[in-house]
Amino acid sequence: RIPEFISRLPERPVVCAFTATATFGVRDDIIRCLGLKNPVCMTTGFDRPNLYFEVRHPQDKFEALNTLLKKYRGECGIIYCLTRRSVETLTRRLIRQGLAAAPYHAGLPKEERERNQASWLADETPVIVATNAFGMGIDKPDVRFVIHYNMPGDMEAYYQEAGRAGRDGLPSDCILLFHYRDIVINEFFLKQSEKDIEKRQADSGENLPARRKERERMKEDFLSLRREKLREMMRYAGAK
C-alpha cells in the first residue's frame, strides 16, 4: 500500500528502499512493488572475512553436532532446522545431553517464543534451535556459530541466516551439516510450492520457476562441493 499512499501526496517525494541482502530478483520486486522511477541502485560489499564457512557430510549428524557443540561450549549460537518437528526433536535430545538449549518456531505459543528468545539474548540459554522463523530483526553481536542441521531452501536464506554469526567482527563459524535426506525434504517443499505456482505468479508477478531453478542449482552445488560456497553466495546476490 506504500505506492498508493505516495500517489495521494500533493508532490511525490524522493523514495529510497534499503535491505541487507537481496538478489537481483528481489531488487526487481522492490522496484516494481514500490513503483520506483529510474532508481539508482547501489550494492555495497558484504564479504565478511571473520566468518568461516564449511559444508560437512557426516554419517551421523547428531554425533557431528555434539562434537561441534563441545568445541563451542559456553559460546552463543544458533542451530537452524528445516521443520518444526526437527526443532522439537533436536532440542529435546540436546537437553538430555545436558546442554542448555531452547526451541523457536512459528508453531510455539507467542509467550514461549518471546521467553526463549529473551533467554537467548540475555545469555541465559546459549543455544537456540530454530526454523527460519527466528532471526528477523535479531542483531546479537556475539553469536559465535550458526549451524544448519538441514540444507536450507535457497542460497539467499542460507547467507542471511549464516550472516547472523560474528556481527562483532570476531571469528565465527558457519557450518552446514549435509545429508542426502535433506534433498527429499526440500523437494517436498518445492512440490508444495508448485501447487499454487500459477496463482502466485498471477497475483504477485513472482518468477517462481526461476526460484525453483535456483534451489535445484543450490542442491547440486552442495552435492558436488566443486565451488567455494561464499563466492557462490556473493555472485548469487549480485556482489562483486
Q: Please write the tens of the pLDDT for every residue from 36-63.
A: 888 998 877 667 889 999 989 899 999 9
Please list the residues that pair with 148 across neighbouring strands: 80, 176
Here the cell at position 130 is 530454530
For the ranges 5-9, 30-34, 206-210, the lowest mean pLDDT is seen at 206-210
Q: Please write the tens of the pLDDT for every residue from 209-229.
A: 555 565 565 555 555 443 445
Residue 240's pLDDT band (cuts 50, 70, 90): very low
Q: Please write the tens of the pLDDT for every residue from 159-195.
A: 889 989 999 999 999 999 987 776 666 566 556 555 5
